[in-house]
Amino acid sequence: MSGRTFIQNPGPTNIPERILRAMASPAVDFGTEEFGALLDSSLNRLNHCMANSGPLIGYTSTGHGAWEATVTNLFDVDAPVLLCDSGHFSHRWGEMCEAHGLDVHWFETGWQQGVDPDALREVLSTEAGKKIQGVLVAHTETSTGVTSDLAAIRKVLEDLDHSALLVVDSIASFGCTPLDVDELGVDACLAVSQKGLMMPVGLAFSGISGRAVEVAYANSRHRFYWDWRRRLEVEGYRIFCGTPPIHHLFGLNEALNMFEEEGGIGAVTDRHQRLASAVRATVEAWSSEGAIEFNAVNEHERSDSVTCVRVSADYDANQVIKVAREKYNLTMGSGIGPLAGSAFRIGHLGDLNVPMVLGALGAIETSLRTCRVPVGSGGLEAAAQQLSEASR
């Protein structure tokens, strides 16, 4: 098919040419001062993007590796943790916690809304809740397009004078939604390379607080590859517990250069907010015919990274995805779990600009119409209006 393929999955995302070129550089000796300087600079700049004053740990892994590393460093066997179950991936994280012997208290939010601070307060105020050692939450749940209010969660912990560690999966939100680790009192912030950082899969990170470091050193659980103590105390290159992923780090360095050229992390998240607003305006217009709707029921919880769109039972969301891919050269995320076959997910994160978003929305609307899914008129006009107003 002629032209370019539009990658509107919520990760992996588009990889800019300049990052691909950086990653195609010749191999280097990772023991040199030059590579050490690049490694230190990249991790320090990434940590700055998190607004984290504590250490940043890197892993050669997917986000699941960051989950496991954080869980095994912060919590011993039988430690009680509260897992905010807001969708497929947060539930998977909870299953991992159980596999590692943690006493998981499941805090169900449903698949259409984020963490309710009042309900959280009620749970943490119980006798069992007072013993919770960690609150684990996905900032944005990739499977649902719902973003939880971290400031509200932190306020609950402060109001209750609760000592639980706040552990945040920002895999789908980092680089897309404002996130100030220090200000929010986040003890561990997890991120990956293949979403907002515009890179291939393969790097994951935990930005951790001083308190998290103390807890990890006091934790007697057996661990090796994921052990923060080993990664923090030896030569800098061993922060990856072995040979560092040299070419991924070349890519990370270039991605951070792009962030800085755009005006810093604040400018990057502002762009994501503008583009997401255009997507939401279009979906709102489409929904007027009653055949589709937002999965996220609360407007303020709709993600700036991914929009999950439900399709009524009369239509097949997977067919829409197939038509978009095979006829119109655009890929989207499918519904997962209870949303399988009844939803599609539009990724709007990473290397993305106004023409790309408008083109993607046009292809998605064409796919919906090809599948005879009734959509309201004016979707693209709504996006254009939203974007033009944001640019004035």
What is the pLDDT, as a whole number, of residue 233?
A: 82
Task: Annotate the chain with three-state secondary structure.
Answer: CCCCCEEECCCCCCCCHHHHHHHCCCCCCCCCHHHHHHHHHHHHHHHHHHCCCCCEEEEECCHHHHHHHHHHHHCCCCCEEEEEECCHHHHHHHHHHHHCCCEEEEEECCCCCCCCHHHHHHHHCCHHHHCCCEEEEECEECCCCEECCHHHHHHHHHHCCCCCEEEEECCCCCCCCCCCHHHHCCCEEEEECCCCCCCCCCEEEEEECHHHHHHHHHCCCCCCCCCHHHHHHCCHHHHHCCCCCHHHHHHHHHHHHHHHHHCCHHHHHHHHHHHHHHHHHHHHHHHHHCCEEECCCCHHHECCCEEEEEECCCCCHHHHHHHHHHHHCEEEEECCHHHCCCEEEEECCCCCCHHHHHHHHHHHHHHHHHCCCCCCCCHHHHHHHHHHHHHC
What is the pLDDT, as a whole number, of residue 2?
A: 80
Domains of the chain (ranges; CATH) run 6-12+264-391 (3.90.1150.10), 18-261 (3.40.640.10)
- The pLDDT tens digits for 83-127 are 999 999 999 999 999 999 999 999 999 999 999 999 999 999 999
Per-10-residue mean pLDDT for the chain, 392 residues long? 91 96 96 93 97 97 98 98 98 98 98 98 98 99 99 99 99 98 98 98 98 98 94 74 94 99 98 98 98 98 99 98 98 97 98 98 99 98 94 76
What is the pLDDT, as a whole number, of residue 234?
A: 67
What is the pLDDT, as a whole number, of residue 390?
A: 84
Measured CA to CA, the distance from residue 311 to residue 290 in angstroms comes to 9
